[in-house]
Structure 1
Amino acid sequence: MTTPFPTSLGAELRDLLGDDFSMAEAERLSYSYDNSRRQALPDAVAFVRSHEQVESLVRACRRHRVPVIARGRGTNTTGATVPVEGGVVVSFERMNRIVRIDPDNRLAIVEPGVLNGDLQKALAPLGFFWPPDPTSSPWCSIGGNLACNSAGPRAVKYGSPRDNTLGLRAVAGSGEGFRCGTYTTKGATGYDLTRLLIGSEGTLALVTEATLKLTPKPSALRTMRATYKDVGSAARAVARIMAQPVTPCALEFIDDVALGLARAHGGDTVPVAGAMLMIEVDGEPDALPAAADAVAAAARGDGLIELSVARTDEETALLWSARKALSPAQRTISPHKINEDVVVPVSRLPELVDGVKRLAAAHDVLIVCFGHAGNGNLHVNLLPRNDAERTRAEACLHDVFALVISLDGTLSGEHGIGIAKREFMPLALSPATLHLMHNVKDAFDPDGILNPGKLLPPRP
């Protein structure tokens, strides 16, 4: 039975936030779900505008033992922002200022509600970018990127949010505000709380400001597309590419099933092949040809059908057409898509791809694989089309995760754990490791009010 929301807390938060606090049903419904298609109704929604408001809100909720769920723009696919135990959803969408851009020190200070795409637009005229670029970058917030360590294709060369964030300002579950990290690219002063908070999905603290590390934008880019007779040949090519000195800025893998769907949706611009790699190399114009040649040489090998190099923007768009057609193509197949983003060491990609093929056949479930192969991060998409297939897909998912762990891999590269993968955490982490994580949670959030029911499984 759900505990009634305290009337006195509602009055206190209304005094604190005014019209930025709502208990209206329409508002609550709007913030009851995310891109995972899971849903649970919160008791209230708070639109915060300052660090001080967040401190006061968390302290008030702690006194009443009411859950607090931080939310960006709801693009998460694992249910990480669904308020499964009710409480107050804290939306950061109105806390969206770019506080400062400092080109001399290669950093930007932003509030968590800033959209990734808006930050990139502000940085471009200055010749910089922030490397994390998830597919949802036009709509997702920096706070959401930090919550799940969401990266995207460029992570293969430039790293994830953990690698591109210098420091944070945040509020712990105690209601205490604090800063961590530095304004410098080097620092060895105590524990690295910045990297700890990134990827914690709002279970340890609510981030109210981030100091981001900027990267100069390369002036030239070369795009290539390599097709192969089978997925094994493509996976082995990935290992060769990542073993040579030039690191591509994108290395995307698409299997034969995905290509077939994309071709049915996108037409003849999508090649017929057993698998495909999309490869991009960036750098300065004088050095780029040699770098691209080195990557192209590694892409060649047994099973290669064709290696195409784009010479114009139009040709680049054409080469990427298959990858762009994938998401809409999958939606036509299954509204119940199970989208997982597992990671294995790059050298073990061939085993992962072959293993997923076997599991698809054994469970009689359609599975599409594509993703950021340069990191060993594949999106394994199970596409059940009816109730019987949904039941088989759930069983297949258990076997997919077991396969990944057996290959020294991990459950998530950038989507996070949320609700969807919480039950599988004991498969990936030892009891001793989970015990330490629970202790960390207790230190930051002594009453367990921050995003309960997410990420960590219940204590034994």
Structure 2
Amino acid sequence: MGSLLAELHDAVGADGVLTDADVTAAYRRDMMPLAPYGQPLAVVLPASAEQVRAVVRACARHRTPIVPRGAGSGLSGAANAVDGCVVLATVRMNAILEVDPDNRLAVVEPGVVNLDLRGAVEKHGLFYPPDPSSYDWCTIGGNLSTNAGGLCCVKYGVTTDSVLGLDVVLADGELLRTGRRTVKGVAGYDLTRLFVGSEGTLGVITRATLALRPLPQAPATLVAAFDGTAAAGAAVSRVVAEGVVPSLMEIMDRTSIRAVERFLKTDLGADGALLLCQSDAGGEAARRELAAIGQACESAGAVLVYATDDLGEGRDLLAARRAVLPALEVYGAWLTDDVCVPRTRIADLIAGCERIGDEVGLRVAVVGHAGDGNMHPTIVYDPSSEDEFVRARRAFDEILGLGLALGGTVTGEHGVGKVKREWLAREIGPVGLRVHREIKRALDPGNLFNPGSMFEL
């Protein structure tokens, strides 16, 4: 391996290759405690696409696997190291190369932090919609690799809906350019969408051309309280049926509400479920949207509906949703699941999660993006107890099974990674899995990139 390390030093410089085990330990895994991980041979920190190409060629010559990595904020183990691999971290490739206000696009390197991009384009009156909960430290490259979502997906979609084109280093070290800078374009296969969400298994993204939108109006906010999740679920269905598309529609179950009330020392006024909605349509249009949502909630049995266009008040209301995970940490470590179900089955999922929690004897809190059915059941357990960890894993898997049984998918935005491989196989079936493997072999015949992520070759 000394020869490979020498080549890596030549490729990225001595300060761009980390081999001290105490240092590389921080790069072994992401935020998912269930996913397996190994010990990398080295971590490399390239600063350009040419350096990435040199690293890829060196690793290919030595048949050493490469695991691409962003900031490590993922929740599926997709960036977890395998023994003897080279972790290729793109954090030094952090330049916003271009902002084109007239064509509403930006060109960025993969190490750009999501929040930094949002701030940079906002100066031009523009908006980059994808907003994962870790948007203040996750990177665009990681968002692209996992096709990340966020709270605004109901109106603006997930990451792939904002990607026009990519530069990708392939397994032979060649640089592939996909997509275009135009609004429309159907020349050839849609290779851009193939690489978005591929979790680093097909290549290393080194540049992205991203579509931007006009900066939305300041949001108006509505909160609705319900005695039970069935009524809250019915309200979501009524909103969808009315054709109203808020910029945000989040749901919290009873367990989440109680945890947040204790954590924030407040009373949210809901015994069973809470629905939080925002509209960024602006002015009278926003008031009309929230009025329609409020009427749908009242018709479904809401015990309280309150709307405001005061920004500070809106932030305070949304703070309850954002405080769920910190509130749950009071009770122990948390393990967040990620399933997406038809919006008409949200109440069924929440009820099923409550049942699963009772069966395994652990607290399960459910929050999620009600507007698109993407729920995040969160299991709380004692990490020092092997028994509780086993029960948490059981609950995690049973929730995935429940999501599939309700007509949903095992991941709405976190990805498959190394923790849901068997569940991907169950969801897409043998033919789907065969096609995945054939695509992988066509682009990466030596299984160089992120082996064992998503599926075994």
What is the correspondence of 1:41-190 to structure 2 with a 5 Å cutoff?
41-190=39-188
Q: Distance in 2 between matches of 1:387 and 1:77?
A: 21
Aligned to 1:369: 366
Equivalent residue number for residue 298 of structure 1: 296
Aligned partner of residue 180 in structure 1, secondary structure:
strand
Say which is worse superposed, 10-19 or 160-169, in terms of deviation: 10-19
8 Å Cα contact 1:229-1:274 kept in structure 2: yes
3-state secondary structure, aligned to 1:207:
strand
Deviation at 1:180, TM superposition (A): 0.6
Q: Which amino acid aligns with 1:267?
A: K
Give 1:202's match in structure 2, choosing from 200, 203, 206.
200
Q: Return the offset for 1:269.
A: 4.4
Indicate the SS of the match to 1:449: coil
How far residue 74 of structure 1 moved from its aligned partner, in angstroms, is 0.8
Q: Label 1:26 to 1:392 Cα distance change in 2 as closer, same or farther (>3 A).
A: closer
2:9 is aligned with 1:14? yes
Measure how far apart 1:221 and its partner are.
Answer: 1.6
Q: Which amino acid aligns with 1:347?
A: T
Which shows bigger deviation, 261-270 or 247-256?
261-270
TM-score by length of 2: 0.96
- Is contact 2:234–2:300 with CA below 8 Å preserved after alignment? no
Residue identity opposite 1:7 in structure 2: G
Q: 2 CA distance for matches of 1:345 and 1:149?
A: 19
Counterpart position of 1:3 = none
Aligned partner letter, 2:439: V
- Structure 1 gap segments, 5+ residues each: 1-5
Which residue of 1 is the match for residue 337 of structure 2? 340
Q: Do the aligned partners of 1:85 and 1:453 also contact (CA within 8 Å) in 2?
A: no
Q: 1:175/1:247 Cα in 2 relative to 1: closer, same or farther (>3 Å)?
A: same
Amino acid in structure 2 at the alignment position of 1:22 = L
Mapped to 2, the partners of 1:248 and 1:269 lie a distance apart of 25
Q: State which of 10, 19, 22 in structure 2 corresponds to 1:23.
A: 19
Distance 1:301 1:358 in 2: 27
When normalised by structure 1's length, the TM-score is 0.95
Q: Deviation string for 1:369-395 (max 9, x for gaps)?
A: 001111100001111234333323322
Give the aligned residue type for 1:441: K
* Number of the residue aligned with 2:306: 308
Q: In structure 2, the residue corresponding to 1:210 is in which secondary structure?
A: strand
Question: Which one of the candidate residues 219, 225, 238 is aligned to 1:240?
Answer: 238
- Superposed counterparts of 1:374-393, under 5 Å: 374-385=371-382, 386-393=385-392
Partners of 2:130 and 2:381 in 1: how far apart?
A: 31
What is the deviation of 1:190? 1.2
Does 1:277 pair with 2:278?
no
Q: Answer yes or no: is 1:424 the counterpart of 2:423.
A: yes
Q: What residue in structure 2 maps to residue 400 of structure 1?
A: 399
**C-alpha RMSD of the superposition:** 1.5
**In structure 1, distance between residues paired with 2:318 and 2:280:** 16
Aligned equivalent of 2:357:
360
1:201-280 pair list within 5 angstroms: 201-280=199-278
CA distance in structure 2 between the aligned counterparts of 1:275 and 1:115, rounded to whole angstroms: 33
Q: Distance in 1 between matches of 2:349 and 2:19?
A: 47
How far is the alpha carbon of 1:90 from its aligned partner?
0.9
Matched-pair contact (CA < 8 Å) for 2:341–2:407: yes
Identify the residue that residue 36 of structure 1 maps to in structure 2: 32
Task: Give the counterpart letter for 1:371 in structure 2.
Answer: G
Q: Describe the shift of the 1:277–1:395 C-alpha distance in structure 2 as closer, same or farther (beyond 3 A).
A: same
Secondary structure of the 1:375 match is: coil
Distance 2:369 2:350 in 1: 13
The alpha carbon displacement at 1:324 in A equals: 2.6
**Does structure 1 conserve the Cα–Cα contact (< 8 Å) formed by 2:70 and 2:141?**
yes
Aligned residues of 1:260 and 1:272 also touching (Cα < 8 A) = no
Paired with 2:313 and 2:18, the residues of 1 have a C-alpha distance of 50
**Structure 1 range deviating more: 429-438 or 34-43:** 34-43
Note the alpha carbon deviations across 1:120-152, whole angstroms, 9 max, x for none: 110112111111001100100000111111110
CA distance in structure 2 between the aligned counterparts of 1:292 and 1:263, rounded to whole angstroms? 25
How far residue 210 of structure 1 moved from its aligned partner, in angstroms, is 0.3
Do the aligned residues in 1 keep the contact of 2:374 with 2:412 (CA within 8 Å)?
yes
Q: 3-state DSSP class of the match of 1:367?
A: strand
Aligned letter for 1:106?
R
Task: Name stretches of at least 5 consecutive residues in structure 2 with no aligned partner.
Answer: none
Alpha-carbon separation, structure 2, partners of 1:71 and 1:34: 9
Q: How many angstroms apart in 1 are the aligned matches of 2:369 and 2:324?
A: 14
- Mapped contact 1:263–1:271 kept (Cα < 8 A): no
CA distance in 2, matches of 1:14, 1:108: 32
**Further displaced range: 406-415 or 33-42:** 33-42
Greater shift, 82-91 or 275-284, is seen at 82-91
Deviations 1:172-221 (A, max 9, x none): 12222101111112111111111111111100110000000101112232
Contact persistence 2:68–2:88 (CA under 8 A): yes
Q: In the alignment, which residue of structure 1 is the partner of 2:348?
A: 351
Contact preservation (8 Å) 1:32, 1:83? yes
2:412 is the counterpart of 1:413: yes
Contact 2:145 2:195 in 1 (8 A): yes
